[in-house]
A = this chain, B = another copy of it.
Amino acid sequence: MSTSSAASRRGDGTDAAQVRPPMRDALVAAAFRLFLERGYEQTTVDDIVALAGVGRRSFFRYFPSKEDVVFPDHERCLADMKAFLARSPEDADPVRQVCDAARLVLRMYAENPAFSVQRYHLTKKVPGLRAYELSVVWRYERALAEYLRGRLGGRPDGILRADVIAAAVVAAHNNALRSWLRSEGREDAAAAVDHALAFAQSAFGDVPVPPRGESPEDVVVVAARRGTPLWQVLREIESAF
């Protein structure tokens, strides 16, 4: 499987960290300093803008709410994911594509391990942030499912497959991400997510869009316990073919 082809390119060829406005970064830094010192609930938007030395309007120019400052890069990452999927080659394996798209999220977390680990601990403590995070995860999952529906929709159970594969890929990704966050960002994030996504991918196989005239039923799968007499396996294969 490819390891991080998605993570190594960006649509615009630039590094997002360079084009992010400094005032936005200053607001995020001020917010996190206060969240860690006083607690999330005890910090107001007014406290954040006072520390950052800007006005309230500047805050709301970048962030619709206090919750959004905790997850400042998800909108960009979601847009990157959709752009990556939109430019997928027609003949690409759709399951592999959504795995590569999921790697973009890991890359965002791994860009700044200290910040990601801080946020992980904060999110565990604040129920409102966990709810916000669930809605973000749901949006990533929908983006993957939408792409898969487009690719698999014409096949029997295409919509069902799309939804289940998207959920499995997100769960595998998040399992690896959480394990990396619990290691305080010390584990190899890319290796952990590659391993987890390989499991999701193996469950659904390579799901190539079948060439015209060939139906998905044309692949025969036989499973047998090692030690089964060969004649018994052969009989099963013959009846399947």
B226 pairs with A241, CB closer than 8 A: yes
Q: Given A131-B135, A135-B134, A219-B226, are A171 and B168 also a contact pair (CB < 8 Å)?
A: yes
B163 pairs with A175, CB closer than 8 A: yes
A218 pairs with B223, CB closer than 8 A: no
User: Taking the complex as formed, is A105 at the interface, i.e. its CB lies under 8 A from any CB of chain B?
Assistant: no
User: Taking the complex as formed, is A53 at the interface, i.e. its CB lies under 8 A from any CB of chain B?
Assistant: no
A172 to B162 alpha-carbon distance, docked (Å): 10
- The interface size bin for chain A is 35 or more
A4 to B137 alpha-carbon distance, docked (Å): 30
Specify which chain B residues have a CB less than 8 angstroms from the CB of A174 in the assembled complex.
163
Specify which chain B residues have a CB less than 8 angstroms from the CB of A161 in the assembled complex.
199
User: Taking the complex as formed, is A54 at the interface, i.e. its CB lies under 8 A from any CB of chain B?
Assistant: no
A226 pairs with B222, CB closer than 8 A: no
User: Taking the complex as formed, is A48 at the interface, i.e. its CB lies under 8 A from any CB of chain B?
Assistant: no
Fill in one digit per residue for A170-198: 1 if any B CB lies within 8 Å of its CB, else 0.
Answer: 11101110000000000000000001100
B223 pairs with A233, CB closer than 8 A: no
B230 pairs with A219, CB closer than 8 A: no
A221 pairs with B218, CB closer than 8 A: no
Specify which chain B residues have a CB less than 8 angstroms from the CB of A157 in the assembled complex.
195, 199
Question: Which of A7-15, A110-118, A200-208 forms contacts with chain B?
Answer: A200-208
Of the residues B163, B172, B204, B233, contact of A203 by C-beta under 8 Å? B204
A204 to B199 alpha-carbon distance, docked (Å): 10
User: Taking the complex as formed, is A124 at the interface, i.e. its CB lies under 8 A from any CB of chain B?
Assistant: no
Of the residues B167, B219, B226, B241, contact of A223 by C-beta under 8 Å? B219
Specify which chain B residues have a CB less than 8 angstroms from the CB of A166 in the assembled complex.
171
A48 to B220 alpha-carbon distance, docked (Å): 59
A170 to B204 alpha-carbon distance, docked (Å): 16
A240 to B204 alpha-carbon distance, docked (Å): 21
